Structure 1
């Protein structure tokens, strides 16, 4: 899989940009602040419907413009598709596939698959649990786009349940009558049902990623491991949920979640928020015998984050089609040894997009097509 053409209109700093691309390595060079990351951010947005830099769409639209358009021609084997997203902050985004407007934005998912390495990846190790949940869920959706619907359903049910809990908490604080708990019972069942599917998918994914991440870490930092991935479920009091639980099936996980919701109800009503479910879970990362967060050095944390991305790439590649690899200003963050090892590992990719401030930051093994990015323009060297 590779992108053959990228078009931008009013996206970030670009009024217009037309960038022809080829298989192999493409390097975008230019001083910081010239728009290199904006290009690869657009590619990532088409693959995930989200940015690796910001949580909302508003910053993606050029200042003064009402909307932004991102379009890419994608080739997979003999098949070619044109995908387009129109970003409308405050309103519904629009999508097209092969010029057809009768699609939802999430229907674009799966047409283009990417694995993106960026300085923000350090948050996978050092950041809060939300960063790791997002990592898992984006990878789930890349493997099976239908799971975007499951995630959306879960978020909708969670919002409804939180509204009820908040109302109950306010009524209690003001001495009012208690709410009809039978209504909450119904939402418990909905949350547990959808949550069980999401939980089962995450558990299975962690089981698949574990050996790949351990191998990738060894390749990046020989003798520095092993590494371990441990799924921590709020339904089990935040402890580690063994990957084998995925084999129990949705019904067993449904029962586990439903029981945990019942046990937490009193506390949830007091606080007015849902305390149990996949939205409260975490992915524990261990390096040797210690948790990576708080104990790993800066270099070790970087290696762990890169190992997670390499594991993702390996999993998607093995299941096919091979994703586009994006390395956004990563090499400047690495020492010479890790820089060379990472470059050697990604160089064989079908398409690799690299951004860097200076050519010296890019290892020689990643020789390929080079673009200069400056003053809002992109020129092939």
Structure 2
């Protein structure tokens, strides 16, 4: 089992100080709107690589008005091992990580901590632009392969530099070669990671009996086909230079991919489903991600489910809680009142989040 058994927040968002002792069960955080519940699960999301569930800068996470910086400390237990993790930012600087007292990279953190989340902003996944769906799929791919993040960073950096050449209408091939080689290597890895993630999700959905609808998933391109090999992608980038100069940006590569989903039982594209059906499809994918990881690495990820009860009736809410407990996952869930978690009973740990005199407070319920 993968779980945080201790969590401390210092000057993080609305929390000047907060300390939680946890026992590995699902965690139900309840309290009024604005009390700081989402801030707690955002802190948990930072025990994995990246910018967290809000994709905020380190400077934005510091408590105001002090703006001194912030620090998170936790004890992570997984498969009989125990890790002490610290992550922090000083005066808005990039966040740092320390693992068992030694400096570590975020990728090293991703090797031991797998965290998957669903937040209200993702409810628009099927009707927003393709960028949001790529980001959603990349988070899933990252949960299976922590190196996916490094490939994404490498690709984005090389593409930005190549785009500058394009906008300056540089035509000398010498300037493009090294950048296109980097884009081809990283881009191929990104594409393969996404394809593998979809394969994991499909198998996890097909092998499970669940109360949530199955989604048929496909990776499509906004134009043409995604080159299948690194050499093909490098060649495609070379051949597209003059088109790209006219457009001022790269027109081929994994940044042009999109995730397409269909509600399988109804053969209806996800974008045309009702709000409740779209939410159910999202939950289905998150659960499939957790099941796939459990089979792959021997333990489910930590799940972060912000306002998860929205658009779910009592029956489907109970089914969700049953699936979480069957997975033995530590799921952090938020809601305005304890009644939203009634179906969990004593299978969960309950924390009350309140706000007084400008301070958020977390206490056992």
Scaled by the length of structure 1, the TM-score of the pair is 0.86
Corresponding residue to 2:338 among 359, 365, 380: 359
Which residue is equivalent to 2:115?
114
Which residue is equivalent to 2:354?
374
Which residue is equivalent to 1:193?
185
Separation (CA, whole Å) in 1 of partners of 2:97 and 2:229: 35
Q: Is the 8 A contact 1:48 1:142 kept in 2?
A: no
- 1:4 deviation in Å? 0.7
Which residue is equivalent to 2:307?
329
Separation (CA, whole Å) in 1 of partners of 2:18 and 2:107: 24
The answer to whether the aligner puts 1:271 opposite 2:251 as a matched pair is no
Q: Is the 8 A contact 1:115 1:324 kept in 2?
A: yes
Separation (CA, whole Å) in 2 of partners of 1:194 and 1:66: 37
Separation (CA, whole Å) in 1 of partners of 2:211 and 2:56: 30
Separation (CA, whole Å) in 1 of partners of 2:242 and 2:91: 38
Which structure 1 residue ranges, 4+ long, deviate > 6 Å from structure 2? none
> What CA deviation, in whole Å up to 9, does each residue of 1:87-146 have, x standing for no partner?
24653322111122x323333223222222322231332222222222222222222223
Which residue is equivalent to 1:163?
164
Alignment partner of 2:332: what SS?
Answer: strand
Separation (CA, whole Å) in 2 of partners of 1:162 and 1:114: 33
> What CA deviation, in whole Å up to 9, does each residue of 1:278-307 have, x standing for no partner?
1221111122434211x1111111111111
Which residue is equivalent to 2:131?
130
Separation (CA, whole Å) in 2 of partners of 1:265 and 1:4: 53
Judging changes above 3 Å, is the alpha-carbon distance between structure 1 residues 42 and 7 closer, same or farther for their aligned structure 2 residues?
A: same
Specify every segment of 5 or more residues in structure 1 that has no aligned partner in the other structure, as ranges. 169-177, 246-251
Which residue is equivalent to 2:80?
78
- 1:264 deviation in Å? 2.8
1:1-381 alignment runs, 5 A limit: 1-63=2-64, 64-88=66-90, 90-100=92-102, 102-168=103-169, 179-213=171-205, 219-221=210-212, 227-233=215-221, 237-238=223-224, 252-288=228-264, 289-293=267-271, 295-320=272-297, 321-348=299-326, 349-367=328-346, 368-375=348-355, 376-381=360-365
> What CA deviation, in whole Å up to 9, does each residue of 1:51-75 have, x standing for no partner?
2224433321111323111121101
- 1:206 deviation in Å? 1.2
Count of paired positions: 354
Q: Is the 8 A contact 2:262 2:268 kept in 1?
A: yes
Alignment partner of 1:2: what SS?
Answer: strand
Judging changes above 3 Å, is the alpha-carbon distance between structure 1 residues 333 and 58 closer, same or farther for their aligned structure 2 residues?
A: farther
CA RMSD of aligned residues (A): 2.2
